[in-house]
A and B are shown apart, each in its own frame.
Chain A
Amino acid sequence: MAPVVTVRELRKSYGEVERLHGISFSVEAGQIFGFLGTNGAGKTTTIEILEGYRSRSSGEVTVLGVDPARADRAWRNRIGIVLQESELNPVYTVRETVTMFARYFDSPTPIGRTLDVVGLSANADERIGRLSGGQKRRVDVALGLVGDPDVLFLDEPTTGLDPAARREMWRMIDGLRTEGKTVFLTTHYMDEAARLSDRIVILRAGAIAAEGTPDELSRSLGRTSDISFALPPGTTRSEIETAVGTAATVESETVRLRTDSVQRVLARLLRWAEDARVELSSLQVTQPTLDDVFVQLAEPDDGARGADGAPPP
């Protein structure tokens, strides 16, 4: 099956300034594709080129086999769009709004079912102006879904939502998987991309910094782990370093050891604590998360990475 979205050497300049520097990627059918980047990385420029809103400077782009720059009505019937910033007229009810949008499409999803999918059945007859921020955002998604699109573009669907509303939105997006939709999701939240996406592309300053499944991206950091614990009273950093044989950092009374061989370092640490009769409180072993990957990739030019000055893995 051909990819739903293909992008090859896509470039976009605004005046003299090039914002996208020849990016290439593709999205397979049925995937939830996470397009991750900081604000200003070029996510919205890219997604709006894919949606047919913006022209490109060069490169090839197809969405459902069609160049979005030549979007026609048949193509628009197969695309669902949730814009990053867009308000709705507060005087209409949820049902009125979704019903009106359904009429724009050739074969819409029944209104009741669309409201079910986004979890707004109970609010169907409320005016939009009376909904919470999270509920309004779900109306946006309903308007993207009501045309029964093959691909849904979601531009930062959870930005500005409170944690509960975000989790609710995640559950909903996750549910789209079973509907067989291809979802193109942009976000600047790593946890969101990691939780929802089958595949992630990380965009940094208009270029692709990394791509892969969430697992692959975590592994790309290497198998380093962090061991941390509270600095036991009466001990020093150099004492610990000598005992475990690896560099340690101390920051606000917390000792951090970064190592490729957790088992060996941990064994030495415990033996030393036993011999020195000190208590290791708050002992933790942590794997790098996608957040670490993201922070590393998103701001690699920032010399002072990590306040503890840990060496790059």
Chain B
Amino acid sequence: MKDLRLTLSQTRYALLGFLRNPRAFVFTIILPLFLLIILNTIFHGLTKFIGAKTAAVYYTPAIVSYQILLAGFNSLNLSVVTDREAGMLKRFRGTPMPSWVYLASLIGRTIVVVVCAVAVLVVVGVVFYAVPISAAAVVGVVVYTLLGTVSMCALGLAATRASPNVDTASVIGIFPTLVLAFVSGVFVPLALVPGWLVDIGRVFPLEYLAAGLRTSFTAASSTGITAENVGVLVGWGLVGMAIAVRTFEWEPMGRG
């Protein structure tokens, strides 16, 4: 009980730090919103090209999945590596705070950030771009959002060991995820992507998250939750968690 309260206050503290960090705020909140608006504007009249009823019906779930990737994987990886290289993790380790409280608070912070950002994206999609949404769709979106966030957080934690310094974490955060977004149907519909690239994308969880969210939005009376999508997200989450538990490093890696 005491540790739960501590986790909550540590989450609030982490959230405050996030809100005061302009880089994190811009990359995880402003950038996806901007992408949604610009993609909807560019592809407004190209519905045949996209293969959806409107551009927004396609891009709202797609950008939601990308936002989850940015906040869960990129931002978490960068936060942990920044804290670790500054010696904050080592400092936390020297206090009575249990290690899991720190990690849980970061995941908690990410969930709060993602839920707010996704709400903004969905409201913009629904209000400004007339994306239809049903009660069942809301359930589906919530389930995929939470599951996707935890899964991406686990992968973000797993990536911290592969990022010996903040620069590496930035590169890992931006470069592979941007490429992944192109082969996972986030920016360009998969029908337009060569088969071998689609096959690469199908190895990773982003495509399943994007596809799941898209089904939730478009399926009129069902939640769009499928065993395949959920299974892949849970599977990747467990892989990430297993790697993180085994390899997580508390002391700065950049110096001796």
Interface residues, chain A, with chain B CB atoms under 8 Å away: 51-53, 73, 76-77, 79, 81, 83, 85-89, 91-92, 96, 100-101, 103-106, 143, 147
A92 to B88 alpha-carbon distance, docked (Å): 13
Asked whether A76 and B17 contact (CB < 8 A) given A85-B255, A100-B9, the answer is no
Query: What 0/1 pattern do residues 1 to 42 of B give for CB contact below 8 A with A?
Result: 000001001100100110011000000000000000000000
Q: Does B194 contact A (CB under 8 A)?
A: no
B86 at the interface (CB under 8 A from A): yes
A147 to B96, CA, bound (A): 9
Residues of B within 8 A of A85 (CB): 87, 252, 255
> Could you write out 24 A-B pairs with CB less than 8 Å apart?
A51-B94, A53-B90, A73-B98, A81-B91, A81-B94, A83-B94, A85-B252, A85-B255, A86-B90, A88-B88, A89-B83, A89-B86, A91-B16, A91-B20, A92-B16, A92-B17, A92-B20, A96-B13, A100-B10, A101-B95, A104-B96, A105-B95, A106-B96, A143-B91
Q: Mark B232-256, 1 if CB is under 8 A from A, else 0.
A: 0000000000000000000110010
Is chain A's binding surface mostly helix, strand, loop or mixed? loop
B44 at interface by CB-CB < 8 Å = no
Q: A76 and B95 in contact (CB under 8 A), knowing A92-B16, A100-B10, A103-B6?
A: yes
- Residues of B within 8 A of A (CB-CB), count: 24
Chain A CB within 8 A of B53 CB: no
> Given A96-B13, A96-B16, A103-B6 in contact, is the A86-B91 Cβ separation under 8 Å?
yes
Q: Identify B95's interface contact among A91, A96, A147, CB under 8 A.
A: A147
In the bound complex, residues from chain B placing their C-beta under 8 Å from that of A105 are: 95-96
Which one of B10, B90, B92 has the greatest number of beta carbons of chain A within 10 Å? B90
User: Which of B17, B83, B252 makes the CB contact (< 8 A) with A91?
Assistant: B17
B residues in contact with A91, CB < 8 Å: 16-17, 20-21
Nearest-neighbour CB distance to chain B for A266, whole angstroms, equals: 51
* Residue of B86, B94, B96, B255 touching A73 (CB-CB under 8 A): B96
- Known: A91-B20, A103-B9. Is A86-B95 also a contact (CB below 8 A)? no
A127 nearest in chain B by CB position: B20
Q: Is B97 an interface residue (CB 8 A)?
A: yes
Give the docked Cα–Cα distance between A100 and B16 (Å).
12
Shortest A135–chain B CB gap in Å is 17
